[in-house]
Amino acid sequence: MDLNDKKILVVDDEQEIREVLSTALGHLGYETATAADGGEAIDLIDRRHREFAVIICDLKMPRVSGDQVVDFVARNHPIIPIIILTGFAQLDMALDHIRMGAFDYMTKPFKIKELALIVQRALRYRALKEEQSRYQEYLVERIREVTSELNNSVIQSVGALIMAIEEKDIYTRGHSHRVAFYASLMAENIGLSVEDKKNLEYAALLHDVGKIGISDQILNKPGRLTNVEYEIIKSHPGKEVKILEPLSFLRHILPIIEAHHERFDGTGYPNGVAGEDIPFMARIITACDAYDAMTSDRSYREPLSPAAALEEIRSGSGTQFDPRIVTAFIDTHRQLLREIG
């Protein structure tokens, strides 16, 4: 609704003043609505605030007075300017109301010319405020866009780095991207919000970034790891947190990344947390990670078939994996097989 199509709300307990004001404003080309006291005015503004361009409000009214109307508008609809109507004796009070958020005041009796000027000024002020708030919204939106473009390019760079590291080793090639892909299918299946799905995909993509800090000999060692080597492997979630910590836009997904080797029964690492204490999204990544590890070729064993890997996931329900995630994974897997034929 254009500002010119809006009405001026006249609030005064004296019918005569309401009529004089409405007639005068009518002559000046404005449409008006009236309220006979503060209560009626607040009710009207509450229900139909979009209709009003400016409010002219008497201060002294029985029951609900003008200061309550000023307070209500300042709190709920600060875009609507309020002009206080006051007698000379109440000038101090009028100034107090301007401090509370009223736009200006007009003393009774008033001249039409004065009324015309003050209403014009109020309308100009309102138009400026609307312009300002539109500009602010535009700026906020623009900052959001730029930040998200920037964040995406950081994610892509880190993703490329991960790919480069995984490329060195035929056994882990594409692992993080596949885990992110499975996680995104799980997110859709579970019905996560767009925001959560994005966070889950980022966390899945970055879940092994800490392996950058672990030597290739240990990572690619054929056969069993010694206890010392295993302890080093177990340090990768902690390394992840250290590597990603400076990227403030990822800070909220660090607990998910850190917990991707926790087990539902509490025997995982690095913190040995169990059940619901493990972040929900970490529990999703754990299942996707395990499934991809089992179905990939490794230096020390042949890959499992999808059906055999799925059976392993099923048998880990309640120990390694959250039973709810296992159910969702079985569902998602069915869909995955259908899609890739």
β-strands 7-11, 104-107 pairing? unpaired
- The reply to whether 240 sits near Fe ion by the rule CB under 5 A is no
Of 48, 29, 32, the residue nearest 40 (C-alpha): 48
Q: How far is the CB of 233 from Fe ion (least distance, A)?
A: 8
HSE, CB side, 13 Å, CA atoms: give it for residue 314.
Answer: 9
CA distance 179 to 306: 14
Amino acid at 226: T
- The reply to whether 258 sits near Fe ion by the rule CB under 5 A is no
Decide whether 12 or 208 has the Cβ nearer to Fe ion.
208
Residue pair 215/229 in contact (Cβ under 8 Å)? The answer is no
Decide whether 208 or 292 has the Cβ nearer to Fe ion.
208
- The reply to whether 208 sits near Fe ion by the rule CB under 5 A is yes
Q: How far is the CB of 77 from Fe ion (least distance, A)?
A: 53
Q: How far is the CB of 285 from Fe ion (least distance, A)?
A: 9
Decide whether 37 or 208 has the Cβ nearer to Fe ion.
208
| Interacting residues of 45 by C-beta distance below 8 A, sequence separation 6+ | 9, 52, 55, 69, 72, 73, 76, 77, 80
Q: Which residue is nearest to Fe ion (CB)?
A: 208
Decide whether 33 or 233 has the Cβ nearer to Fe ion.
233
Decide whether 36 or 294 has the Cβ nearer to Fe ion.
294
Residue with token string 């059940």:
275
Decide whether 98 or 233 has the Cβ nearer to Fe ion.
233
Binding residue count for Fe ion, defined by CB under 5 A: 1
DSSP state of 37: S
Amino acid at 191: G
Q: How far is the CB of 275 from Fe ion (least distance, A)?
A: 20
Contact window for Fe ion (CB under 5 A) among 79-87, 125-133, 157-165, 208-216? 208-216
Vertex 22 angle, CA 21 and 27, to 5°? 95
Q: How far is the CB of 286 from Fe ion (least distance, A)?
A: 9
- Site residues for Fe ion per CB under 5 A: 208
